[in-house]
Structure 1
Amino acid sequence: MDVLKLKKPPRKLLVIKPSSLGDIVHSLPFLNALRDSFPKAEIHWIIAKGLEGLLEGHPMINKLWIINKDEWKRIKGAGTTIKELRSLFKSLKAERYDIVIDLQGLLRSGILAKAAGAPVRVGFKGAREGSRIFYTHTVKGGKDIHAVDRYLEIAKFLGCDISDIKFPFPLSFTSFAAGRLGRLAEESEHARGGQLSPLSFQLPDKYAVIVPGARWETKRWHPERFGELASMLSVKSIVVGGESDADIAGVVVRNSDGNAVSAAGKTTLKELIEIIRNAMFVVTNDSGPMHIAAALNVPVFAIFGPTNPLRTGPYGKPHVIIRKALECSPCYKRKCKNLQCMEMIEVREVADAIRQN
């Protein structure tokens, strides 16, 4: 691979990676390589509203641009969206970036890259929705490698050393050191906006985390089975997820024989990270919290069906993939009438994998 020839180290860089949760976690080693290679440069990052808790206050990032991309899709708010985009484009251009890196690879992110006005705009050759036309340089990422390694291909093109792969999460919050989950601070309390209720329990000294949700319905193992699994574990389980996962988390709890409690919809993203950070292990579908656990070196037992763990599984060791080697898997289908890849995974199989590791 050719390496980008720079006349001088960049003064200011912009990384475009607004979503999703797991993908942003996968891009953290890229951030680490970028910061190590350009210690004096300003690094800015564009992230989607709702996920900013993952990178807020990060010591490697000088400025976080938070975009409300979901609102941009609504036709009724087109007028407001146009005004917001014009303002954003003007502000990005005023920063006078030396390099813009688009890790998202979609039309919207390509337009943002172009709008920033940097002389060097880097993205993937395989970027979708025609976004590659906005780049000055493209890098072959590959489809059969893990997302972490794919992002690092761009870091390599920029001349970064990628031999030391690290996931630089912000430092742990001291309020969790005593094993309790409370309200973090006035800043975190304000972020709730009155929408989330505090947990009504204290975290035990030893516990497992269960993640029964996933963005695709086809990636979800039955919550009843997660509950049965929780009833078989020697430690209490904390069930996590977003507000949309509250109902299935309740199913897990009801089937756990009193050995699980739900935190789904009751935590900020920062609090979720801390719950996972201090867990003994995590049992999960292919989901964003799974990638957080892997990045924090918490042992993961991941249940896979329609997706490929070689591309998007928990990165590194020591993690265990539980899946069925069926001819139709991975199929990457979001809907399936015969979801045998998930149906065939039994509770005892997952419990045995946990006991053996």
Structure 2
Amino acid sequence: MADADERILVVGPSWVGDMVMAQSLLMSLKARHPGCHIGVVAPAWSLPMLSRMAEVDEAIALDVGHGEFGWRVRRKVATLLRGRFDRAIVLPRSWKSALVPFLARVPVRLGFTGEQRLVLLNRRRVLDKGVLDQTVKRFVSLGLPVAEAASGDFAIPRPRLAVDPDNLVELRLALGLSSRPAIGMMPGAEYGPAKQWPPAYFRQLAIWLVEAGFEVRVLGGPKDVEDGEHIAAGLEHVHNLCGKTRLADAVDLLADCQQVVTNDSGLMHVAAAVGTRVHALYGSSSPDFTPPLTARAHIHRLGLSCSPCFARVCPLGHTNCLNQLTPQRIFAALTAPPEGREPA
């Protein structure tokens, strides 16, 4: 077993959902080595989220844009970290993601094989996709002994992001939110349109929810503003918050929602990690690979013969896997009595 005061550097992923799932690895490391110090190298945008993870002792910004090489930035970060960590766990499988631990001269550098990282990583594992069939399992396995990881039979801690109640009070006032019970909607999906339920369906669902006495909060990034406007236009008690909040704000706003309706997206994983009841809409992707890590998840998928295809854009041109998933079905699920209780 590693020393209790071991210093572990984790190179984090570049997507919101993957960063949430990476917390499962951090939780596993802390459970096995309670006195260890965990540092996480991650994109600058993710630092507010990392601040909500109790297991992170130190967050180091790698301010490199998605797809950029950023040699000078990586070398600068590596210089700052040199001599400070005993081992590194590299979660992304790209060549450049292993550069910082290598340049920082971390003695043990572990990751999956990929992109000719023979020199950059001195501990490499072959990824058995049949055994490690979920992203979160792959992350957690890198913190385990080889034999245990290879078995695929190990506990997966569920992510749990901390909520800031003071920030939530300020947000409710600043955004003009009401005292109605809130439903969150996340219409975006960074990967591509084949993962997106039609905005018109979200809008129809919002209309019914307002009539049923709910407030609707549409959350997403700047790319989702137009869809958010389409959903909220002219509707009282429907707030388009896309592009108006920080990632940490989204954590608090989602924790304040009774339920959320979401595509398979990063914010889906955030909602799961704050304990909100999640209605996850799956089309081109699969809940077998990237499920919301919560017992309060309701998966909605049609299971057509052509899905999951994992394509960014429907290769058949119809996206029936989502277009045929009706708003009526989701509304019925949202307004159904809680499990274990009969209607009043």
For Structure 1 versus Structure 2, the TM-score category normalised by the shorter chain is 0.7 to 0.9
Counterpart of 2:79 (choices 90, 94, 115) is 90
Counterpart of 1:181 (choices 171, 176, 183) is 171
Report the secondary structure of 2:65's partner residue.
helix
Residue aligning to 1:344: 324
TM-superposed deviation, 1:205: 4.6
Alignment CA distance shift 1:168-1:284 (3 Å)? closer
Alignment CA distance shift 1:85-1:148 (3 Å)? closer
TM-superposed deviation, 1:132: 5.7
Residue aligning to 1:157: 145
Residue aligning to 2:341: none
TM-superposed deviation, 1:113: 3.0
- Contact persistence 1:139–1:157 (CA under 8 A): no
Residue aligning to 2:187: 212
Taking the TM superposition and a 5 Å limit, the aligned residue runs for 1:1-357 are 6=2, 8-9=3-4, 11-56=6-51, 58-70=53-65, 73=68, 81-95=70-84, 97-125=85-113, 128-131=114-117, 134-143=120-129, 145-157=133-145, 163=155, 165-176=157-168, 178=169, 181=171, 199=175, 201-215=176-190, 216-233=192-209, 234=212, 235-254=214-233, 257-336=235-314, 337-356=317-336
Scaled by the length of structure 1, the TM-score of the pair is 0.83
Structure 1: how far apart are the matches of 2:229 and 2:208? 17
Structure 2: how far apart are the matches of 1:142 and 1:323? 27
> Cα deviation per residue 1:273-312 (whole Å; 9 max; x = unaligned)?
0000111000001111100111222111111111111111
Name the count of aligned residue pairs: 325
2:34 maps to a residue whose letter is P
> Cα RMSD (Å) of the superposition?
2.6
2:120 maps to a residue whose letter is F
TM-superposed deviation, 1:140: 5.0
Alignment CA distance shift 1:308-1:130 (3 Å)? farther
**Please, which moves more after superposition, 40-49 or 141-150?**
141-150
Structure 2: how far apart are the matches of 1:181 and 1:130? 47
TM-superposed deviation, 1:323: 1.3
TM-superposed deviation, 1:343: 1.5
Structure 1: how far apart are the matches of 2:305 and 2:24? 33
Report the secondary structure of 1:27's partner residue.
helix
- Contact persistence 2:260–2:279 (CA under 8 A): yes
Alignment CA distance shift 1:88-1:308 (3 Å)? same
Structure 1: how far apart are the matches of 2:62 and 2:237? 40
Structure 2: how far apart are the matches of 1:342 and 1:133? 44
Identical aligned residues as a percent = 24
- Contact persistence 2:13–2:19 (CA under 8 A): yes
Residue aligning to 2:342: none
Structure 1: how far apart are the matches of 2:25 and 2:71? 31
1:221 maps to a residue whose letter is W
Structure 2: how far apart are the matches of 1:57 and 1:322? 29
Scaled by the length of structure 2, the TM-score of the pair is 0.86
> Cα deviation per residue 1:122-147 (whole Å; 9 max; x = unaligned)?
1124xx43346532223455435222
Report the secondary structure of 2:183's partner residue.
strand
Structure 1: how far apart are the matches of 2:118 and 2:181? 48
Alignment CA distance shift 1:306-1:224 (3 Å)? same
Q: Which runs of 5 or more residues in structure 2 are unaligned?
A: 339-344
Report the secondary structure of 1:51's partner residue.
helix
Structure 2: how far apart are the matches of 1:56 and 1:210? 24
1:250 maps to a residue whose letter is E
> Cα deviation per residue 1:13-61 (whole Å; 9 max; x = unaligned)?
1000142100010111211121222232221101102221101364422
1:345 maps to a residue whose letter is L
2:207 maps to a residue whose letter is S
Alignment CA distance shift 1:212-1:109 (3 Å)? same
